[in-house]
Amino acid sequence: MSAVSASKRTDATQGDMPDIQQVAALFGGKTILKCEVWSAFEAHALILGGLPAAALSHLIDHLRIVGSTPSLEKALGVSLRTLQRQKESPEKKLSKDQGGRAWKFAEILATATAVFGSQDEAEFWLTRPAIGLEQHCPIDLLATPTGLKLVEDFLERLRFGVYA
- Residue 108 C-alpha from the chain's centroid: 5
Q: How far apart are CA 97 and CA 113, in angstroms?
A: 24
What does the DSSP 8-state code read for residue 130? B
**48 backbone dihedrals φ, ψ, rounded to 5°:** -60, -40
Return the amino acid letter for 156. E
Q: What is the pLDDT of residues 71-123, one digit of tens each?
A: 999 999 888 788 778 778 878 999 999 999 999 999 999 999 999 999 999 99
Q: What is the pLDDT of residues 45-66, one digit of tens each?
A: 999 999 999 999 999 999 999 9
- Reply yes or no on whether the pLDDT at 12 is more than 70: no
Q: What is the pLDDT of residues 21-50, one digit of tens each?
A: 999 999 999 999 999 999 999 999 999 999
28 Rama sector, left if φ>0, alpha if ψ -120 to 50, beta otherwise: left
**Stated pTM of the model:** 0.86
pLDDT at 80: 76
Q: How far apart are CA 164 and CA 117, in angstroms?
A: 21
Q: What is the pLDDT of residues 124-146, one digit of tens each?
A: 999 999 999 999 999 999 999 99
Return the amino acid letter for 139. I
